[in-house]
Amino acid sequence: MKRKHAKKPSDHVKIAKERIKELFKQAEDATQTYANRYVALARKISMKYKVKFTPVQKKKFCKHCHVHFRQGENCRVRTRDGKLVYFCMGCEKYMRFPTLKKNSKKQ
């Protein structure tokens, strides 16, 4: 017999999203070690409740070493070939995000 996975109640998902948002807010003001810990907690919550990060939240930490980014201190942001390129100075890896192009209206 196949076993059905129990779905998480919507209350739990809602609380998880709020908690993740609060952890990222706290990471902005905290020291680097605490900020990294807040990102680790947010990742654990998102994995447990299967909540995806928003595009803004994805750009706030390294997807390779999971360090909270502080522009100019531990990451470098550049634009190249229509992409935002984040370079992590901790693990020395790149993350590339496409930039949104504005729709030009043809008249």
Q: What is the pLDDT of residue 10?
A: 84
Q: What is the pLDDT of residue 106?
A: 54
What residue ranges of the chain have pLDDT lower than 50? none
CB 92 within 8 A of CB 74: no
In angstroms, the CA 78 to CA 24 distance is 22
Q: Model's pTM, two decimal places?
A: 0.81
**CA dist 64 → 29, 85, 87 (Å):** 23, 14, 11
Q: What is the pLDDT of residue 51?
A: 95
Q: What is the pLDDT of residue 9?
A: 76
CB 88 within 8 A of CB 74: yes
